[in-house]
């Protein structure tokens, strides 16, 4: 074991070189730890998306196949009546019998328009009144608001109360902005005026109980042109509100669109085939699609981030290998006479190589210990780094959204705002918490040691293959 003693004494004699190697190996070890931990954090976020995005089947009316009645002029404008098929409860019940289907959801944008009777909507640039009670604002009709895209993708979050269910018929969910503006709380009653019901001769005043308050609209739409164009003025109503307001007339219609959720996305194609072959859908003006839009939108920037992390780790490893090999080769070249004397004294070349390896292993042990001590600092730094990348990607998506939606996110009309509230163009924001786990230390230290040993062997190969006389004749 003399080679270990010789190696230790050499390191003590060359403190500056030793400290430089300690610093280099420690830095690379920290970068490898950060890369491995960031990769794990991105994988966790990716899995979170898989759970939240809820890839699903969407069954909806096919407007390309359906026919519309003749356009007629009414006192409130022109109109035509859809004369195609709707999704009935019979169809839903049949779909629920298919193995692998977990549940059915449906959320329709702009399914109900109401004016505020005993409260006030958030103001807009132009607060024009279209009814005696003021401007109309669109509401979403839903079977289960918890399954609405806006809640599944994290764009909206339930703050107080509960979600709407299929059993509700007099409930409403409103934004926290609207609740605070009117000092409303869960359990309070509000009244909406329905212009459509008034025109058709039904009771137009709809009294509702606030069962839930959601967040997520804050800071979106303060500069909206109209009341209906401000996200905070929109809310969720149960489908049964139609039956309550329009009575038997609502029985003539079904759902325009339903979401079919599955237990295992790997089986979604098989379930798609089974739903498509149902006799109840034959010759109907309905179409079935596999919807992975939310997953695609949310996962695209994350996939980009994962790619960047992989490139980062490869670049670090390559740079480390090249720099360490060149550095060790330069320093080993200065030890020609030392190696020549050792070999002349009868010390085997393998022992000389073992001494070189022992030196870098001693340095590595010090470096890895230092990197372990500094790892909490790297965790915080890596977390901040991932959040900054996420912010840049979300800003880029916002710019792309502004190009897609010319009127801007804060100045959308009612039809454009539906997409804004459902989160179709939103990005799920992750609170990246990078944690360096034991397996990350094992991975980093193992890869580091492997590269160090290989670099040492490559750096010492040339002089080890030379004869003692050649080594002693060379100048350091």
- 8 A C-beta contact, residue 114 and residue 268: no
pLDDT for 179 beyond 80: yes
**Model confidence band, residue 69 (pLDDT cutoffs 50, 70, 90):** low
Alpha helices in 236-292, H assignment, sequence order: 240-246, 268-276
How confident is the model at residue 420, as a pLDDT?
46
- The tally of CA atoms less than 13 A away on the side-chain side of residue 316 is 22
pLDDT for 24 beyond 80: yes
| Beta-bridge mates of residue 114 | 137
What is the per-residue pLDDT across 312-346, written as a single tens digit (0 to 9) for each? 888 888 888 888 777 777 777 666 667 777 777 77
**Model confidence band, residue 192 (pLDDT cutoffs 50, 70, 90):** very high
How confident is the model at residue 328, as a pLDDT?
75
φ, ψ (nearest 5 deg) of residue 69: -70, 175
Q: Find where tokens 């163009």 sit.
A: 425
Q: At what angle do helices 349-404 and 438-464 cross, to 10 degrees?
A: 130
Cβ neighbours of 191 (radius 10 Å): 15
How far is it, in rounded angstroms, from Cα 123 to Cα 349? 85
φ, ψ (nearest 5 deg) of residue 245: -80, -45
pLDDT for 155 beyond 50: yes
Q: Is 129 exposed, middle or buried (0-12, 13-18, 19+ CB in 10 A)?
A: exposed
pLDDT for 411 beyond 70: no
pLDDT for 446 beyond 80: yes
| CA dihedral sign, ordered 312, 313, 314, 318 | positive
Q: What is the DSSP string of 76-117?
A: TEEE--B-S--B-HHHHHHHTTSTTEEEEE-EEEEEEEEEES
Non-local CB neighbours of 28 within 8 Å, separated by 6+ positions? 316, 320, 448
- 8 A C-beta contact, residue 234 and residue 137: yes
- 8 A C-beta contact, residue 261 and residue 152: no
Q: Is 60 helix (H, G, I), strand (E, B) or coil?
A: strand
pLDDT for 353 beyond 90: no
Q: Find where tokens 């003539």 sit.
A: 252
Answer with the residue of higher pLDDT: 175 or 374: 175
Query: Which of 207-211, 325-329, 350-354 has the highest average model confidence (pLDDT)?
Result: 207-211
**Model confidence band, residue 473 (pLDDT cutoffs 50, 70, 90):** low
The pTM for the full model equals 0.53
| Residue 121 DSSP label | P
């Amino acid at each position: 074991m003399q080679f270990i003693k010789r190696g230790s004494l050499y390191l003590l004699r060359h403190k500056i070189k030793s400290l430089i190697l300690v610093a280099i190996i420690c830095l690379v070890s920290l970068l490898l730890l950060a890369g491995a931990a960031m990769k794990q954090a991105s994988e966790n976020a990716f899995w979170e998306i898989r759970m939240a995005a809820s890839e699903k089947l969407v069954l909806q009316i096919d407007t390309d196949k359906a026919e519309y009645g003749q356009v007629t002029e009414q006192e409130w404008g022109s109109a035509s009546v859809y004369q195609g098929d709707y999704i009935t409860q019979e169809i839903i019940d049949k779909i629920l019998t298919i193995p692998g289907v977990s549940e059915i959801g449906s959320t329709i944008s702009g399914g109900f328009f109401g004016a505020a009777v005993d409260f006030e909507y958030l103001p807009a640039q132009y607060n024009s009144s279209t009814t005696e009670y003021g401007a109309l604002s669109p509401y979403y009709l839903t079977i289960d608001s918890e399954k609405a895209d806006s809640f599944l993708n994290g764009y909206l979050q339930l703050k107080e109360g509960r979600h709407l269910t299929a059993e509700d018929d007099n409930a409403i969910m409103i934004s926290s902005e609207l609740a605070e503006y009117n000092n409303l709380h869960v359990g309070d009653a509000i009244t909406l005026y329905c212009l459509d019901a008034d025109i058709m001769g039904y009771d137009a005043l709809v009294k509702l109980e606030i069962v839930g308050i959601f967040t997520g609209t804050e800071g979106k739409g303060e500069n909206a042109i109209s009341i209906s164009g401000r996200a905070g003025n929109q809310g969720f109503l149960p489908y049964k509100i139609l039956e309550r307001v329009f009575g038997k007339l609502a029985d003539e219609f079904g759902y325009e669109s339903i979401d079919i959720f599955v237990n295992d996305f790997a089986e979604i194609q098989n379930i798609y085939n089974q739903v498509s072959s149902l006799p109840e859908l034959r010759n109907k003006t309905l179409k079935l699609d596999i919807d992975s839009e939310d997953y695609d939108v949310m996962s695209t920037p994350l996939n980009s981030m994962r790619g960047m992390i992989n490139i980062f780790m490869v670049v670090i490893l390559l740079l480390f290998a090249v720099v360490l090999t060149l550095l060790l080769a330069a320093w080993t070249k200065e030890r020609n006479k030392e190696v020549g004397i050792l070999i002349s004294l009868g010390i085997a070349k393998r022992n000389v190589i073992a001494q070189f390896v022992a030196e870098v292993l001693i340095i590595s042990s010090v470096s890895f210990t230092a990197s372990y001590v500094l790892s909490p600092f790297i965790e915080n730094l890596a977390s901040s780094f991932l959040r900054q990348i996420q912010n840049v990607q979300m800003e880029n998506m916002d710019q792309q959204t502004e190009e897609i939606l010319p009127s801007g996110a804060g100045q959308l009309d009612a039809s454009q705002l539906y997409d804004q509230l459902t989160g179709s163009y939103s990005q799920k924001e992750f609170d990246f918490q990078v944690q360096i786990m034991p397996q990350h230390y094992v991975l980093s230290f193992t890869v580091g040691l492997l590269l160090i040993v290989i670099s040492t062997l490559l750096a010492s190969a040339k002089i080890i293959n030379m004869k003692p006389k050649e080594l002693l004749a060379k100048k350091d």
